[in-house]
Each structure stands twice: as C-alpha cells, then as structure tokens.
Amino acid sequence: MWFFSAEEKELQLVCRDFASKELAPVAEKHDHEESFNLSAFKKMGELGILGITADPEYGGAGLGATASTIVMEEFGKACAGSTLSYLAHSILCVNNIQNNGSPEQKAKYLPKLISGEHIGCMGMSEPEYGSDAVGIQTKARKTEKGYEITGTKMWITNAQYADIAYVYTRTGEERKNLSTFIVEKGTPGFHVGKPIHKMGMRSSPTGELVFDKAQVASSQLVGKEGDSIYHMMKNLDIERITIAGISLGIAQACVDQCIKYSMERKQFGKHIGNYQLIQKMIAEMATETEMMRAFLYSVAKEYDRGVRGPTVAAMVKLQIPKMATKIALDAIQLHGGYGYSREFPLERMMRDNKLNEIGAGTNEVMIMIIAKNLLKEMRD
C-alpha cells in the first residue's frame, strides 16, 4: 500500500521471503498430516515477529495492526493454518499480555513468548459458549492461596503446544463480571483435552483446555477482578482486522495461481488465458482482491491511529473472508477437475478460509455488531 512506512515495506519483503522458504514448501504436507510446523514457528521468533505489537523492552517489535496484517497476508498466501497459529500466539496471547498485564507479568512471560521458546494460546470459547463470549461459564473461585479455576475451553488454537494460556473466567454472578488469568502448562488441575479435527486450517493444532479445580496464584490474575470485558472487546478488534489479513493472503494466492494456470493450460488448441470468459474471471478476482486490500489496510491504519474501532473491524471481518471464499471457489471453477483435486492448493485454500467466516466471530455476529452500532450512532 502507498502509505506503508519504510519499516512496514521491509517487513513485507522479509515475511514474503520467509513464507516462500519455510511455509509454502511444506504447507500441503502439514495439511495432509494435520501436523504443526513447529520448526517454522521457532524461526519466527528468530525473525523477531512473534511479539510484533509488544514493547521492545521485552524483545518485541513495537508495531501495530498494519504491520501485523502485513505478516498475516504474506504468511496466509503460503500456509493459512500456520498463520492462524501465529495469530493465536502473537495477537491473542502476546498482545493481550502486553496491553493488560502488569510489569511483573510482562517481564516474566513476554521474553520467552517473543523469542519462540514458549508458545501461547488464549482460552475464550467454551462448548456451550462460542458467539456469546460474555456468557462463558468457566469459573475462578477465590481461595486462601489464590484462585481455583473450573471449566472447559473449546476450539483453542495451539492448545496442544501452548506453554502459556491467557484464560477468561467468570468471577461473579453478573454477566459482565469476567476476569483473566495467565495459566502455565503443568499447573495442577489443568490439562489439554482431546484434539479437534477440522475441515480446514489442519496445520493449526486445535484442542480443549480443561480446568478441574486448577490452582493459580493471585499474581496470575491480569488486571483487577471483573475488569476483563473491556480487555476482551478491545483485543477482538485487532483480532478481527488481522484474521481478515489471512483471507486477503488466500485471495491473492488464488489469483496468482489462476494467472499461472491460465498461461499453462491448453484447451481446444489454445492457452485458456486467451478465452474471454477466463479473462473475465481473472479480472474480477484480481479487482475484488485489490478492493479487499485497500479496505483492510485503511482500517488497520485507522486502528493504529486510534481513529475508528469496533464497527469497521467487524466490517472487514465480515466482508473480506466472505469475498475470499468466493474467490477461492471461482479459482477452483477456473481450474476445473484439477481445482477440485488435491494436486493443486486451491481446495486447501478454500477449506482454510471458511474458518475465517466462523472464528473471531461468525459472519452473523459481525452483522449484528455492525447494525447495532450504526443504529446506536443514529439514535445518539
């Protein structure tokens, strides 16, 4: 984008090169095996991007939503599953601790998370509470030694590999009385449940976090008891912006693959790129992708400047994954039987992107948020 800083442009090139060498060559393998590219993840720490929004004092890059979205797009082109795990670590865990943790918590947890020595996850969704995140029922009860956590978290990205979990709990009867704890692997009463096998994002490990009277110290409470509803909603904005970046990367990868294929594949004695119908499909996909890019990065930049928040974050989260799914389906159609087969990456891209219409708030929830906020603005 024309408004990228010199640092953001350099980041884009570095991430593009990393993705082509460390993610793309093994994306199909990890998708097929449902395995985690742990080697690449550790190298992301060496690259200096696992704490992209964190303070340089702890080893972070000190950048914002625009830079984070650049990483999501470049990585998303190569392997959306690995990118989702990167988002869960850097945005859902590290960014939350950076913004909400105490100086002691940041000093204790961020350096190892940012270096890649530790992997992080976030526990919000539950078996009965997904879209209704504020309704979560995992409870933290005050004890003489700290707190006792009981409940189950579901659909947790990085669950099986996480050393640190940033966990939302209920600490009072009121609906909005939520509190957050940083829970370490090995905590008595805390274990990882069954792995969850998915249609897409198969290279991103997903599982349950189970708390059976898990004992945590008071020092692991983030902020004040009952304060976490604000933390949750604020972090959801940057999560929704950056997850849309993965969809943008998928859409661009589909366009690139279609252009390449149309110059190689022959039908009726000519390369299919010579046929106007194929040209129309490519032109429309490319145009839609550029529209997505302009919209997404303008919102990311405004977020960094503190200009706009939840409504536009929900808008990009609603529209960009929807458009990317359409583009992926169009790309499959252009490739015919090859597009439907696993010989080409398009079917994987379509499967991967569908998650982005569900995670971080479904399309339907985004519609509710957008409409509610617009109507409230009009009333006010």
What residue type is 300 in one-letter code? A
Domains (range + CATH), the chain: 6-119 (1.10.540.10), 121-226 (2.40.110.10), 229-379 (1.20.140.10)
CB distance 72 to 81 below 8 Å: no
Give the pLDDT band of residue 13 (cuts 50, 70, 90).
very high
Q: With the CA atoms of 323, 73, 98 and 141 taken in that order, what torsion angle do they form, in degrees rounded to the nearest 10?
A: 50
CA 196 to chain centre: 17
Task: Select from 318, 324, 361 the least CA-distant residue to 131.
Answer: 361
- Three-state SS annotation for 309-335: CHHHHHHHHHHHHHHHHHHHHHHHHHH
Chain mean pLDDT for the chain: 97
Band (131; pLDDT cuts 50, 70, 90): confident
Q: What local confidence, expressed as pLDDT, does residue 174 receive?
A: 84
Task: Read off the pLDDT of residues 185-238 as tens digits, 9 standing for 90 and up.
Answer: 999 999 999 999 999 999 999 999 999 999 999 999 999 999 999 999 999 999
Q: What number is the average pLDDT over the span 32-50?
A: 98
Reported confidence tier of residue 292, pLDDT bands at 50, 70, 90: very high
Strands 139-142, 147-157: pairing kind = antiparallel
pLDDT tens-digit series, residues 301-318: 999 999 988 999 999 999
Q: Do the Cβ atoms of 208 and 158 come closer than 8 Å?
A: no
Q: What is the pLDDT of residue 375?
A: 97
Answer positive or negative: Cα dihedral of 14, 15, 17, 22.
positive
In the predicted model, is pLDDT for residue 295 greater than 90? yes
Q: How confident is the model at residue 298 (pLDDT cuts 50, 70, 90)?
A: very high
DSSP class of residue 198? -
* Residue range 39-62: mean pLDDT, rounded: 98
Residue 104 in contact with residue 219, Cβ under 8 Å? yes
Average pLDDT over residues 365-376: 97
Residue 275 reports pLDDT greater than 90: yes
pLDDT band (50, 70, 90) for residue 1? confident
The residue type of 339 is G
- pLDDT band, very low/low/confident/very high, at 118 (cuts 50, 70, 90): very high
Look at residue 175 and tell me whether its pLDDT is greater than 90.
Answer: no
Question: In a 3-state reduction of DSSP, which class is residue 215?
Answer: strand
Q: List C-alpha distances in Å: 303 to 4, 52, 172, 363, 372.
A: 14, 15, 32, 21, 20
Per DSSP, the residues of 26-72 read GHHHHHHHT---HHHHHHHHHHT-TTTTS-GGGT-----HHHHHHHH
The pLDDT value given to residue 173 = 82
> pLDDT by residue (tens digit) across 55-78?
999 999 999 999 999 999 999 999
Write down the pLDDT at residue 176: 84
| pLDDT tens digits, one per residue of 323-347 | 999 999 999 999 999 999 999 999 9
CB atoms within 10 A of CB 307: 10
Q: Which of these is catalytic: 8, 74, 208, 239?
A: 239
**What's the confidence (pLDDT) of residue 130?**
87
Any idea what the Cα angle at residue 319 is, between residues 316 and 325, rounded to 5°?
A: 125
Phi/psi at 83 (nearest 5 deg)?
-70, -40
- Establish whether 239 is a catalytic residue: yes
Reduced DSSP (H G I as helix, E B as strand, rest coil) percent helix, strand, coil of the chain, to 5: 60, 15, 25
